[in-house]
Amino acid sequence: MRTRDFVELEDRFGAHNYHPLDIVIERGEGVWVYDVEGNRYLDFLSAYSAVNQGHCHPRLVKALTEQAKKLTLTSRAFRNDQLGPFLKELTELCEMEVALPMNTGAEGVETAIKIARKWGYKKKGVSDGKAEIIVCANNFHGRTTTIVGFSTEEQYRDGFGPFTPGFVIIPYGDLEALERSIGPNTVAFLVEPIQGEGGVVVPPEGYLRRAKEICKENNVLFILDEIQTGLGRTGKLFAYQHEDAKPDMIILGKALSGGMYPVSAVVSSREIMDVLKPGDHGSTYGGNPLACAVAREALRVIQEEKLPENALELGNYFMERLRTIESKHIKEIRGKGLFIGVELVPEAGGARRFCEALKEEGLLCKETHEHVIRFAPPLVIKREELDWAFPRIEKVLKEL
């Protein structure tokens, strides 16, 4: 079977909830993927930063297969020998006290919302049913009905109401709006350190630090969704470390398992987490031994291979090179570490056609927010590989 046949199968038998580039990948290794025609591509998306450790990292494959032969699922009705060590290692890495494991990122966000609300009622004294969570315009926190209910992206909401009440939307990067929106019923401020799906939007310097202070002054939980920015992507282990704005709760996912298996987690303090009592929350697969074994190794790889350091150094290098490109299509180049967005001018005709042209050059990128091309290769990438990519990107941005 060839590319066309696989595309036909998917389109005929699948829901049409995605608009993928028509490349059918059958194998991946490090930063490279191979399609069914035998072509090789440099992956510049990393599955939305889930494969920061690179495709099929040998250590992760080993952790996965070895654990799969021993034990995969007990449910949380019983204990397993991977969960405790995973929680210890994860909380130590985050310099926090406790963690709650789930599977997908959206579940992690849902978990944080539930904890924040319960904290509001039990600890802050908000009257029942009145809790409010402040979120930002242009956010992306996942696709559940509650989460899309506070999206400002029309398409994410259209046809999916009625929505969960209790969310207040303010502009991203606007500290005055945050101060103004906090009321007696505000329990939390939920925000991304850099808006990923929103187009790699970097907030003004000092935003997170000051937002944290405002939350603290008002007894409001400061919750960071680091599902995409966390675990090395922006050149620090966590994006909040760029300005020392450690949150009350951090939500992780994606690279927490290096693309092997869905693993997410909410990490916080004992005091906050203890509002949950047995039976309040759970997940059949959350914290299963296969997930924990993979995640433990994924975290070790990030640290031992110094992926945040590599992202910082090569991110700066690559951003500088990108800024030398003279193209009438480019409006702005922005980002941190290896999380880079190239925003095109409206006349460029959308980022999609650039991504299609880049694919022809052997680079896999995905447009985000219509006019932004995101560059987010696996963090194991080397300078030579970026040097291979650069002239191809330059060519497409200049000649298209």
Ligand X SMILES: *Cc1c(COP(=O)(O)O)cnc(C)c1O
CB 376 within 8 A of CB 367: no
Of 106 and 311, which CB lies nearer to ligand X in the complex structure?
Answer: 106
C-alpha 307/C-alpha 59 separation (Å) is: 15
Is the backbone peptide bond immediately before 162 cis, with ω within 30 degrees of 0? yes
Residues 6+ apart with CB under 8 A from 276: 100, 114, 115, 118
C-alpha 313/C-alpha 132 separation (Å) is: 40
Of 132 and 197, which CB lies nearer to ligand X in the complex structure?
Answer: 197
122 is catalytic: no
Task: Give 48: exposed, middle or buried? Use CB within 10 Å, 0-12, 13-18, 19+.
Answer: buried
C-alpha 384/C-alpha 96 separation (Å) is: 37
Residue 337 backbone dihedrals phi, psi, to 5 degrees: 60, -140
Of 230 and 235, which CB lies nearer to ligand X in the complex structure?
Answer: 230
Taking CA atoms, 219 is separated from 124, 208, 316, 371, in Å, by 8, 16, 37, 38
Residues that bind ligand X (CB under 6 A): 48, 104-106, 109, 140-142, 192, 196-197, 225, 227-228, 253
To the nearest 10 degrees (0 to 180), the angle between helices 352-360 and 383-399 is: 120
Residue among 43, 225, 238, 339 flagged as catalytic: 225
Taking CB positions, which residue lies at the least distance from ligand X?
A: 105
C-alpha 189/C-alpha 222 separation (Å) is: 5
Distance of closest approach, residue 78 Cβ to ligand X, in angstroms = 26
Taking CA atoms, 225 is separated from 104, 141, 297, in Å, by 13, 7, 22
Residue among 35, 86, 118, 140 flagged as catalytic: 140
Residue among 254, 336, 359, 366 flagged as catalytic: 254
* Structure token pair of residue 400: 């298209």
Of 166 and 253, which CB lies nearer to ligand X in the complex structure?
Answer: 253
C-alpha 380/C-alpha 297 separation (Å) is: 15
| Sheet strand arrangement including 40-43 | 25-29, 32-35, 40-43, 363-364
Task: Give 280: exposed, middle or buried? Use CB within 10 Å, 0-12, 13-18, 19+.
Answer: exposed
Distance of closest approach, residue 229 Cβ to ligand X, in angstroms = 7
254 is catalytic: yes
C-alpha 390/C-alpha 230 separation (Å) is: 25
Distance of closest approach, residue 266 Cβ to ligand X, in angstroms = 12
Half-sphere exposure of 51 (CA within 13 A, CB side): 23
Question: Among all residues, which ones are annotated catalytic?
Answer: 140, 225, 254
